[in-house]
């Protein structure tokens, strides 16, 4: 495998960086730009911005935030939330995003994935999955920031999404998100092993050591971290140290 990527995830609501538990109880953390710059300086390999009320308004608020961010942040940026069309994606890419992430609109209109992949290439297209466990080794895909069910089985849906052109999966465990209980490596492994494209594990990272089972048992290609960083319980550098100690290959930084 390539380098293990350590990604800072910023969930955005209106003008604010926010953080919840199980994607609920969204606490205002602070101004996104301040936190993004800090994570860039700490050596994040990538940033993910997710607008979690975009689907509510039917539009994306992130273009301005991304435009500001790209002035002093020089790592790949993935942007998601409320992307419904090729034009929506184009706006974000023009604003400086390197990849776009799609969830809600793709579940009701899967062809959106192939349209985006044909236009911009799969390397640019992330399928975002909010996975809620509904049985033994069984997860349902949720939308709208973990509020609505779709009836879609997560494994079947990612397989379909990859066929349609998704080049990467952002896999969020709703059950673990914000809980600091560690990643659901069982979920990550079942998704990773079902498809050939990279999987970003998200949800549950409570301490730097939590990356170990996500990679070893879960076969994650990247980890997205929010709570741990926002509440300043660890830095990207500390996570990188654990990765190195475990013998994972990571980007050389600094």
- Active site annotation includes 98: no
Give, in order, the Cα–Cα distances in Å from 38 to each of 34, 119, 164, 224. 6, 33, 36, 15
Candidates 17-25, 153-161, 165-173, 223-231; binding stretch for another protein (CB under 8 A): 17-25
25 vs 31 by CB, closer to another protein: 25
Q: Looking at 9, 84, 132, 240, which residue binds another protein (CB under 8 A)?
A: 132
Asked whether position 64 contacts another protein by CB under 8 A, the answer is: no
User: What residues have CB less than 8 Å from 140, skipping those under 6 apart?
Assistant: 131, 132, 134, 149, 150, 151, 152, 153, 154
For 119, counting Cβ atoms within 10 Å of its Cβ (0-12 exposed, 13-18 middle, 19+ buried), the class is: middle
134 vs 216 by CB, closer to another protein: 134
Q: Looking at 22, 41, 160, 219, which residue binds another protein (CB under 8 A)?
A: 22
Least Å from the CB of residue 203 to another protein: 15
Q: Looking at 41, 147, 233, 251, which residue binds another protein (CB under 8 A)?
A: 147
144 vs 221 by CB, closer to another protein: 144
Candidates 31-39, 66-74, 142-150, 246-254; binding stretch for another protein (CB under 8 A): 142-150
β-pairing verdict for 199-202 and 222-225: parallel
Alpha helix segments (H runs only) across the chain: 32-42, 54-57, 62-72, 86-95, 104-108, 111-120, 154-164, 185-194, 211-216, 227-230, 236-245
CA distance 235 to 114: 37
Asked whether position 5 contacts another protein by CB under 8 A, the answer is: no
Pick the catalytic residue: 45, 130, 210, 221? 130
Asked whether position 231 contacts another protein by CB under 8 A, the answer is: no
- Active site annotation includes 11: yes
Residue 181, φ and ψ in degrees, nearest 5: -90, 5
Residues that bind another protein (CB under 8 A): 13-14, 21-22, 24-28, 53, 56-57, 132, 142, 146-149, 179
């Amino acid at each position: 495998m390539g380098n293990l990527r350590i990604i800072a995830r910023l969930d955005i609501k209106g003008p604010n960086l926010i953080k919840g538990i199980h994607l609920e109880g969204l606490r205002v953390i602070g101004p996104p730009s301040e936190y993004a710059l800090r994570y860039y300086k700490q050596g994040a390999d990538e940033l993910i911005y997710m607008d979690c009320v975009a689907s509510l308004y039917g539009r994306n608020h992130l273009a301005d935030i991304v435009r500001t961010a790209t002035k002093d942040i020089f790592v790949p940026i993935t942007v998601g939330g409320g992307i419904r069309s090729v034009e929506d994606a184009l706006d974000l890419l023009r604003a400086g995003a390197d990849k776009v992430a799609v969830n809600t609109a793709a579940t009701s209109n899967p062809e959106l994935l192939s349209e985006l992949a044909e236009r911009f290439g799969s390397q640019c297209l992330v399928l975002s999955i909010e996975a809620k466990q509904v049985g033994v080794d069984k997860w349902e895909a949720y939308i709208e920031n973990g509020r609505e069910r779709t009836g879609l089985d997560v494994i079947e849906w990612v397989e379909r999404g990859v066929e349609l052109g998704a080049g990467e999966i952002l896999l969020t465990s709703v059950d673990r998100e914000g809980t600091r209980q560690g990643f659901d490596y069982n979920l990550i492994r079942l998704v990773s092993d079902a498809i050939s494209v990279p999987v970003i594990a998200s949800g549950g990272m409570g301490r730097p050591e939590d990356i170990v089972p996500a990679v070893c048992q879960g076969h994650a290609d990247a980890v997205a971290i929010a709570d741990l960083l926002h509440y300043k319980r660890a830095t990207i550098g500390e996570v990188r140290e654990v990765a190195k100690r475990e013998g994972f290959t990571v980007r050389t930084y600094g």
